[in-house]
């Protein structure tokens, strides 16, 4: 097949290094368009990953505004389900045909796409406006090897979401602040009201707050160390185990776990779940929350070390092979302005990534966003490495076997650790 | 006339009949249950599919159907699917019949390799090797093209159908071909005018198979048809079910709507199945 | 593969090949004669072969090549806009194969894949044949039964997978709903390895039986009714008739559907992927879904996935050759 000669490869790498030294964004096209950005023209395809029905219209409206401002640019809106977008983008991007110009990339995908050369470096380009205004957590997810490859669009994290009425009936006016309180509250709910206290979702991402709470993590990126099998994490897994065995949380289903936990909360069959802002619109459709005031949102309960949850969210990235990079720059810039973020926050309660956006009256007026703002301060950025996406499956399998009683906490982490060593070969 | 001692063929004792019906009814119940549940769910409000109570009906309405037909791109997807599946069916039946006939009747050099090649294509785990296939389609300019997708479906449907058609042709007595040759028909003429009409049951099965392959396929369609206005039903439907949310109302309603054309094709094809059947019956 | 030139099969070709044979001694004209004799047969298969060779042949050749290298998504050279990725993958011989074949997971998955294939195909064929025989009788409501029994086929596989996942749901599923009504506790169908395996097999059987039934029904209808009448006159009972007429009459069709059914089930990606996602753990993962996940999560491992593909292909070819030998020893011609 096409095997470049080593010399050619070296030259290519050298050229790459040179262009890197020169600092990104010095491509002539955007420089020319700076004189009058509204004159850029062309056709753009954007892969959006939001829910087409409930969230899509807001983005479509933003596209209309963009096209009004840039009359010579046509944006093709394509909605790709979030669980397929990553795979499809990889397939299309490597072929050089069929990839979109702009993709809404999950925070964890960005470094992976960037490492594979699929994304356009954005430093100094028109796509990034006032980078210092972005929240540090989401912003860190856009960097790879010191360069910027995306612009944060929305952010999120996990919180404790609860049914105020059930907690009150169990004698708790306030949501639990620590894991110990969580267990007690859950047991009280079960004893006094007969429904489940806490519904767990068997998913790796939802395990992270427990690990962070004990001071654990999956990787130590700075030292290139795999730290998943640590005493802190063993303690965290014991905590989860204990929540189930003590009856604070009923034994969760491992398939459809998310949907079942959500349904339990919506129908008043469980008092508390861990979930993020994206779930709110669905929760409000539940019969327990016809009165929105019955829904409580609090930071995740603290472990013995701290209260912390993972940073999630979405970035906008530009395909390096795009034929319309200047127009794509303008589009990404437009979609991440304070105004655009405020509109998104106001209409569909997704959290802005710009610090200044939280001072916008539209954002302040949205109670869900307002509630999540302080919780975001406790969010922990995940290791933004290209292999990041591969870390979840081993952990999920471990979590499933823990819940199924097939392996104990220490056992399970040992297995996860082994699998991580297979993925991250040169890590210690 | 039913004699008391030996019953003519096709007659059974009442007990045997009852047993037969009971067996078929059980099978029908099992095969229908999920489908019935699908229909019932499609009539419920969008979120009651996952509810703690088991209910047959819950505020039944056609809301979901209205939403599917008006608020989504369902009509566009339907059109794409009909075109794709229709083309796949016509081309698939034709190619499968010619190939099957050639292999059934002629001992040409390589006829055995042909069957083997067809078989091997079916062993290929395409899910794993989708990337070279995508690159190939991209290179040929067939991405986001209905003909491109049809060609991809040919690789799934035709090998099986060719094998199937060969089996059917094998059961058509060779004397019939010979008679045709005596009447002065060319080999193609024999195939087209004489043998093909006789293989109607096989063609019916093949046609339905080709249609269903294209109709329900999602793997290729998802990867090859990324453009929104080129999506087929299978790809479009996946929008209704996400990782962290799902709209079962839309999903189930469109699934029911999808099954209707498939059923229609079946009914159409089934008439020919019956024709084949009665032809056999009148012969006796 | 064996190539039989001018072997008589009777029929119209018999006339043709008889002529062909009589001219066999004309050495110089043999190729031309062969073309003259067989061009229409080749013409009839050519379009199919062309499509197959391009669409399957190319990825296959590319796959075999990649499986001998250490190519991943990160080291295959390419230029995308301003980004240039140098090509640094190397030829590594059979390393990928060794790595797969020496992992205990491979053998675990192979065992389950074989069980899955055997049980699914066995049930497909057994139930399909039973229903086809029942439907091949004169029977009131026969066409109604037939339509209703074929209905699962009209439901696209991925929709069916979602329906079944919902039916199996441990807290809100319909099956557990009925169990609870009957006073039996619910079962975590997809949460336990054993029940999850039973569950996916049940889904695949539900989806696959209609096809088998229709194919076999088509085969049954091509068996002349006279044969049964003659047998009945000779005093053969129903079981004898079934064994002496029905089974041999179905041999052609059965041979095809069993072999292809085995191949398809072996590589049945969507059902497992959509119903259980391979879980709990990776217990229900068959070779092809396991390979897909190994190779396609994160940075794609092209060489590894290609090696998996070639191994699966090789196993199926061995199976098919063995199957063909068996059929042949029983006197089937192909």
ipTM comes to 0.80
Please tell me the distance in Å from A373's CA to the nearest CA on chain C. Answer: 31
Which pLDDT score, from 0 to 100, does residue B3 have?
A: 42
* Nearest-by-Cβ selection for C81 from A115, A120, A263: A120
Chain C residues whose beta carbon lies within 8 Å of the beta carbon of residue B160: 256, 260
HSE (side-chain half, CA atoms, 13 Å) at A330: 31
If contacts are CB pairs under 8 Å, which of residues 62-81 in chain C contact chain B? 62-63
Identify which of A187, A33, B28 has the alpha carbon closest to the alpha carbon of residue C135.
B28
Query: Which of C1, C53, C146, C156 best probes binding to B when mutated, by most B CB atoms within 10 angstroms?
Result: C156
Residue B39 sits at the chain C interface (C-beta within 8 Å): no
- Above pLDDT 70, what percent of chain A? 92
Please tell me the distance in Å from C80's CA to the nearest CA on chain A. Answer: 5
Give the number of residues written for chain C: 334
Measured N-to-C along each axis, helices B14-43 and B63-71 cross at an angle, to the nearest 10 degrees, of 60
C298 to A389: CB separation less than 8 angstroms, yes or no: yes
A338 close to A408: Cβ distance less than 8 angstroms:
no
**DSSP track, B230-274:** G--HHHHHGGGB-SS-B-HHHHHHHHHHHHHHHHHHHHHHHHHHH
Identify which of A36, A120, A102 has the alpha carbon closest to the alpha carbon of residue A71.
A36
Q: Which two tokens stand for residue C84?
A: 């240039």
Q: Which two tokens stand for residue A415?
A: 């297995």
B190 to C169: CB separation less than 8 angstroms, yes or no: no
pLDDT tens for residues C146-189?
888 888 887 878 788 888 888 888 888 888 888 888 888 778 88
Q: Which two tokens stand for residue A315?
A: 């970035």
Which residues are CB-neighbours of B35 under 8 A, at least 6 positions away?
A: B259, C151, C152, C155
Cα A195 from Cα A261, distance rounded (Å): 13
Q: Closest residue of C to A385, CA-based?
A: C298
pLDDT tens for residues A302-360?
999 999 999 999 999 999 999 999 999 999 999 999 999 999 999 888 999 999 999 99
Measured N-to-C along each axis, helices C193-221 and C157-168 cross at an angle, to the nearest 10 degrees, of 140
B9 to C229: CB separation less than 8 angstroms, yes or no: yes
Q: Provide residues of A within 8 Å CB-CB of chain B.
A: 51-53, 76-84, 88, 91-92, 94-98, 100, 258-260, 263, 266-267, 269, 278-279, 282, 285-286
Please tell me the distance in Å from C106's CA to the nearest CA on chain B. Answer: 16
- What do you get for the CA distance between the two ends of chain B, in Å? 17
A78 to B227: CB separation less than 8 angstroms, yes or no: yes
Strand bridging mode A295-298 / A379-380: unpaired
Q: Which two tokens stand for residue C163?
A: 């329906």
C145 to B208: CB separation less than 8 angstroms, yes or no: no
Residue C82, CA distances (Å) to A118, A359, C38 in order: 10, 38, 55
Which residues are CB-neighbours of C79 under 8 A, at least 6 positions away?
A: A12, C85
Residue B157, CA distances (Å) to B95, B121, B154, B243, C319 in order: 10, 11, 5, 31, 21
Residue A216, CA distances (Å) to A219, A298, B243 in order: 9, 22, 27
Identify which of B67, B95, B78 has the alpha carbon closest to the alpha carbon of residue B262.
B78
* Nearest-by-Cβ selection for B242 from A76, A81, A94: A81
A267 to B51: CB separation less than 8 angstroms, yes or no: yes
What would the mean pLDDT of B248-262 be, rounded to a whole number?
Answer: 82
A116 close to A386: Cβ distance less than 8 angstroms:
yes
If contacts are CB pairs under 8 Å, which of residues 97-136 in chain B contact chain C? 98-99, 101-103, 105-129, 131-133, 136
A13 to C65: CB separation less than 8 angstroms, yes or no: no
Q: Closest residue of B to A258, CA-based?
A: B244
C212 close to C124: Cβ distance less than 8 angstroms:
yes
Cα C120 from Cα C266, distance rounded (Å): 10
Please tell me the distance in Å from C223's CA to the nearest CA on chain A. Answer: 47
Beta strands, E only, chain C:
78-80, 83-85
Task: Quickly tell me which residue has 């297995």 as its tokens.
Answer: A415
A118 to C172: CB separation less than 8 angstroms, yes or no: no
Which pLDDT score, from 0 to 100, does residue B2 have?
A: 40
State the burial class of residue C24 (Cβ atoms within 10 Å of its Cβ: 0-12, 13-18, 19+). Answer: exposed
Residue C270 sits at the chain B interface (C-beta within 8 Å): yes
Residue C25 sits at the chain B interface (C-beta within 8 Å): no
In order along its 428 residues, chain A shows pLDDT tens digits of 333 334 434 433 433 333 333 333 334 444 444 457 778 889 999 999 988 877 888 999 999 999 999 999 999 999 888 888 898 899 899 888 889 999 999 999 999 999 999 999 999 999 999 999 999 999 999 999 999 999 999 999 999 999 999 999 999 999 999 999 999 999 999 999 999 999 999 999 999 999 999 999 999 988 999 999 999 999 999 999 999 999 999 999 888 888 889 889 988 999 999 999 888 888 888 889 989 899 999 999 999 999 999 999 999 999 999 999 999 999 999 999 999 999 999 988 899 999 999 999 989 888 888 888 888 888 998 888 988 888 888 999 999 989 988 889 999 999 999 999 988 888 88
Which pLDDT score, from 0 to 100, does residue B53 have?
A: 58
Cα C309 from Cα B128, distance rounded (Å): 7
Which pLDDT score, from 0 to 100, does residue A17 have?
A: 38
Please tell me the distance in Å from A371's CA to the nearest CA on chain C. Answer: 31
Strand bridging mode A150-156 / A73-79: unpaired
A12 to C300: CB separation less than 8 angstroms, yes or no: no
pLDDT confidence bin for C332, thresholds 50/70/90: low
Angle in degrees, CA B249, B254, B257, rounded to 5: 135
A265 close to A163: Cβ distance less than 8 angstroms:
yes
In eight-state DSSP terms, residue A175 is -
Which pLDDT score, from 0 to 100, does residue B50 have?
A: 58
Chain C residues whose beta carbon lies within 8 Å of the beta carbon of residue B283: 224-226
C281 to A401: CB separation less than 8 angstroms, yes or no: yes
- Above pLDDT 70, what percent of chain C? 89
Chain A residues whose beta carbon lies within 8 Å of the beta carbon of residue B222: 84, 88
* Nearest-by-Cβ selection for B34 from C15, C163, C257: C163
Cα C323 from Cα A115, distance rounded (Å): 47
Provide the H-helix boundaries in chain B: 14-43, 63-71, 74-105, 111-123, 130-139, 146-171, 174-182, 187-189, 196-198, 200-216, 219-224, 233-237, 248-283
3-state secondary structure of A351: strand
* Nearest-by-Cβ selection for C58 from B136, B160, B188: B136
């Amino acid at each position: 097949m096409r095997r470049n000669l080593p010399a050619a490869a070296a030259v290519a790498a050298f050229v790459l290094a040179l262009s890197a030294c020169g600092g990104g964004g010095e491509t002539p096209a955007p420089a020319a368009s700076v004189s009058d950005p509204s004159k850029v023209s062309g056709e753009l395809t954007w892969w959006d990953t939001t829910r087409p029905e409930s969230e899509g219209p807001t983005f479509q409206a933003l596209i209309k505004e963009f096209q009004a401002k840039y009359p010579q640019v046509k944006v093709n809106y394509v909605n790709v389900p979030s669980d397929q977008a990553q795979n499809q983008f990889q397939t299309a991007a490597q072929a050089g045909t069929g990839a979109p110009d702009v993709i809404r990339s999950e925070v964890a995908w960005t470094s992976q796409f960037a490492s594979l050369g699929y994304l356009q470096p954005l430093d100094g380009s028109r796509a990034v406006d006032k980078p210092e205004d972005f929240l540090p957590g989401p912003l860190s997810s856009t960097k790879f090897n010191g360069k910027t490859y995306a612009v944060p669009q929305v952010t999120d994290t996990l919180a404790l979401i609860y049914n105020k009425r059930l907690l009150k009936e169990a004698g708790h006016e306030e949501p639990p602040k620590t894991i110990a309180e969580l267990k007690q509250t859950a047991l009280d709910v079960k004893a006094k009201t007969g429904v489940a206290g806490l519904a767990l979702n068997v998913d790796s991402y939802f395990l992270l707050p427990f690990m962070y709470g004990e001071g654990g993590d999956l990787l130590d990126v700075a030292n290139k160390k795999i730290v998943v099998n640590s005493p802190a994490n063993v303690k965290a897994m014991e905590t989860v185990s204990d929540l189930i065995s003590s009856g604070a949380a009923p034994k969760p289903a491992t398939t459809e776990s998310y949907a079942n936990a959500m349904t339990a909360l919506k129908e008043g069959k469980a008092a508390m779940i861990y979930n993020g802002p994206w779930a709110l619109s669905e929760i409000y459709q539940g019969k327990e929350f016809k009165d929105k005031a019955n829904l409580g949102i609090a930071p995740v309960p603290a472990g013995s070390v701290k209260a912390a949850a993972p940073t999630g969210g979405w970035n906008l990235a530009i395909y390096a092979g795009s034929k319309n990079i200047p127009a794509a720059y303008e589009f990404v810039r437009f979609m991440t302005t304070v105004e655009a973020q405020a509109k998104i926050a106001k209409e569909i309660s997704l959290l802005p990534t710009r610090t200044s956006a939280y001072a916008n009256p539209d954002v302040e007026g949205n109670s869900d966003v307002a509630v999540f703002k302080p919780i975001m301060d406790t969010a922990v950025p995940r290791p933004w490495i290209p292999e990041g996406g591969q870390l979840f499956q081993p952990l999920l399998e471990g979590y499933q076997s823990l819940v199924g009683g097939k392996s104990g906490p220490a056992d399970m982490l040992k297995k996860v650790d082994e699998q991580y060593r297979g993925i991250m070969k040169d890590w210690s | 006339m039913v004699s008391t001692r030996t019953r003519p063929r096709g007659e059974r004792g009442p007990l045997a009949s009852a047993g037969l019906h009971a067996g078929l009814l059980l099978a029908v119940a099992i095969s229908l249950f999920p489908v019935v549940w699908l229909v019932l769910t499609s009539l419920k409000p969008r979120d009651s599919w996952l509810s703690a109570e088991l209910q047959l009906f819950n505020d039944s309405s056609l809301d979901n159907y209205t939403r599917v037909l008006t608020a989504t791109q369902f009509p566009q997807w339907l059109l794409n699917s009909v075109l794709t599946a229709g083309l796949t069916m016509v081309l698939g039946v034709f190619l499968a019949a010619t190939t099957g006939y050639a292999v059934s009747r002629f001992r040409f050099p390589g006829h055995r390799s042909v069957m083997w090649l067809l078989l091997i294509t079916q062993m290929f785990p395409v899910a794993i090797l989708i990337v070279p296939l995508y690159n190939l389609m991209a290179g040929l300019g067939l991405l986001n093209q209905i003909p491109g997708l049809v060609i991809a479906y040919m690789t799934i449907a035709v090998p099986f159908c060719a094998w199937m058609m060969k089996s059917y042709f094998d059961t058509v007595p060779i004397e019939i071909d010979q008679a045709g040759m005596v009447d002065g028909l060319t080999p193609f003429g024999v195939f087209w005018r004489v043998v093909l009409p006789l293989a109607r049951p096989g063609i019916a099965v093949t046609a339905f198979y080709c249609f269903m392959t294209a109709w329900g396929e999602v793997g290729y369609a998802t990867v090859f048809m990324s453009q929104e206005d080129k999506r087929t039903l299978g790809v479009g439907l996946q929008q209704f079910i996400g990782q962290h949310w799902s709209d079962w109302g839309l999903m189930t309603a469109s699934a029911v709507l999808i099954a209707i054309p498939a059923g229609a094709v079946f009914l159409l094809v089934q008439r020919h199945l019956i024709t084949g059947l009665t032809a056999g019956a009148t012969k006796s | 593969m064996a190539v039989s030139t001018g072997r008589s099969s009777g029929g119209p070709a018999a006339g043709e090949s008889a002529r062909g044979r009589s001219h066999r001694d004309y050495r110089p004209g043999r190729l031309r004669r062969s073309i003259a004799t067989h061009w229409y047969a080749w013409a009839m298969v050519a379009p199919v072969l062309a499509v197959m060779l391009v669409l399957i042949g190319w990825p296959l050749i590319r796959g075999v090549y990649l499986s001998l290298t250490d190519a991943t998504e990160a080291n295959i050279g390419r230029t995308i806009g301003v980004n240039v990725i140098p090509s640094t993958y190397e030829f590594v011989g059979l390393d990928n194969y060794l790595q797969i074949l020496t992992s205990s997971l491979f053998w675990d998955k192979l065992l389950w894949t074989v069980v899955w294939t055997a049980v699914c195909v066995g049930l497909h064929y057994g139930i399909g044949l039973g229903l086809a025989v029942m439907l091949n009788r004169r029977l009131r409501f026969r066409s109604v039964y037939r339509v209703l029994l074929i209905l699962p086929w009209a439901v696209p596989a991925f929709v069916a997978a979602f329906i079944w996942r919902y039916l199996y749901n441990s807290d809100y599923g319909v099956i557990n709903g009925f169990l609870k009504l009957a006073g039996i506790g619910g079962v975590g169908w997809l949460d336990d390895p054993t029940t999850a395996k039973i569950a996916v097999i049940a889904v695949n059987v539900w989806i696959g039986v209609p096809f088998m039934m229709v194919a076999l029904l088509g085969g049954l209808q091509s068996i002349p009714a006279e044969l049964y009448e003659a047998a009945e006159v000779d005093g053969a009972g129903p079981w004898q008739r079934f064994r002496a007429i029905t089974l041999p009459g179905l041999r052609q069709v059965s041979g095809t559907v069993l072999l292809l059914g085995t191949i398809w089930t072996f590589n049945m990606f969507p059902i497992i992927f959509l119903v259980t996602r391979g879980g709990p753990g990776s217990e229900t993962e068959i070779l092809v879904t396991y390979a897909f996940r190994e190779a396609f999560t994160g940075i794609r491992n092209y060489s590894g996935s290609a090696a998996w593909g070639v191994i699966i292909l090789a196993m199926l070819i061995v199976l098919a050759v063995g199957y063909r030998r068996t059929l042949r020893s029983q006197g089937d011609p192909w």
